Structure 1
């Protein structure tokens, strides 16, 4: 089974006297502790929570109704028949606050849909509640080396790079870049920050500032788009999410799969 790795960024909404004061992980457990119905590409979807072994992680299933086409019995000449069914993907989330926290693993199933798009639709439904203390953003975790391969393969020809960041809320980095984003969140109430670099003569991207920006974006708290002269080649980190294959062992038991997933993906 393939799982795509994503990350949630929870940005605190501006507080007032009536704001609910609650930790991010507690709030995530609350909003994902019940069934959530949402719409994705004009189709009804449902998130259903499932109990985990020790409660450290949030686990569940996201699915939708489908129509299955199959053959009838030999006595009915194997005629094609249809019946309603459901397709669902497993989801596992570490909601806690630490260096690699709020990471999500969502099973990849073509008949369910693209993980990033589905999770964005679920998050949109949750964010629609104006009383929430946080706004959730979701982004793919990508390989930083893919961006640098693109830069080096097109050295001197990259004319535009756009970094989009979510104001950091959980990383314990003392990096000045992270601190600047924090200040933009706390003083200007910015939830998203965009940095765009352009030059028709080609950009010099192998600098410390760009290195830090690429590291922040690819860890799942932002995204990168780039293009070369004449738009001949393009790069989009959203299309290059990290994936992990988990073998279906122990007779395919779900608990065994979840244990394997936790061991392979989540760290503290």
Structure 2
């Protein structure tokens, strides 16, 4: 487990004292978010938890920016990192139910696995495309112009389960309008300020980590 913080500068406009006739000045402060990286390679894969602070930015955007930087700095490593949200499949199926009869497109983008240990049909297919064809990602699109797309099948459920664990992205559309995007439905864990303060001690930090990752 790696624990740290990531921050960004925030520029504020303030005023000096009466001697300067309250002249304006720009101040730079920093806002920071806690970061927890669970890299033990459990069956759920490697996971990252980032504290949401509006002035710092969306956690998935921060993480993907970090991953992009690492990949560009290591072009000859022979591997490429990828980051997707861990979502809840119930949100996907709720969107399917809500928009039944209007869904024209269902698109999956899968990242080739190298961590997940449980083997699903989706994982086996994506891994084979990686090993035999060199695919770093795989995109599947289901389309029905009349909006009569029915996502409820055993294979699609397997795809959704893979996405749910962070293996990719699922998008539902009605024409050009996005009805659902799993990347915007990341799982979140509400944490009280008291728990953050308690995490300054080893025992409190261990409890916080268990709450975040459920393990």
TM-score, scaled to structure 2: 0.87
Match in the other structure for 1:29 = none
Matched, 1:150 2:86: no
Match in the other structure for 1:220 = 166
Counterpart contact for 1:150–1:235, Cα < 8 Å: yes
Shift of 1:254: 4.5
Query: Residues 67, 151 of structure 1: CA spacing in aligned structure 2 closer, same or farther, 3 A cutoff?
Result: same
Shift of 1:70: 5.0
SS state at 1:235 partner:
strand
- Structure 2 residues without counterparts, runs of 5 or longer: none
Match in the other structure for 1:203 = 149
Structure 2: how far apart are the matches of 1:94 and 1:65? 26
Q: With CA pairs under 8 Å and 6+ residues apart, which has the higher RCO, 1 or 2?
A: 1
Summarize deviations over 1:65-106 as a string: whole Å, max 9, x none: 222345667999988654222111111101111112310001
Residue of 192, 196, 201 corresponding to 1:247: 192
Match in the other structure for 2:206 = 259
Write the mapping of 1:105-124 to structure 2, written as runs, cut at 5 A: 105-124=49-68
How many aligned positions are there? Answer: 211
Match in the other structure for 2:134 = 189
Query: Residues 127, 251 of structure 1: CA spacing in aligned structure 2 closer, same or farther, 3 A cutoff?
Result: closer
Summarize deviations over 1:42-65 as a string: whole Å, max 9, x none: xxxxxxxxxxxxxxx012111122
Shift of 1:221: 1.1
SS state at 2:94 partner:
helix
Structure 2: how far apart are the matches of 1:223 and 1:208? 18
- Structure richer in strand, relative to its length: 1
Summarize deviations over 1:165-216 as a string: whole Å, max 9, x none: 0011111223222111111111111110101000113112111011111111
Shift of 1:145: 0.7
- Structure 1 residues without counterparts, runs of 5 or longer: 1-56
- Structure richer in helix, relative to its length: 2
Query: Residues 99, 78 of structure 1: CA spacing in aligned structure 2 closer, same or farther, 3 A cutoff?
Result: farther
Match in the other structure for 1:102 = 46
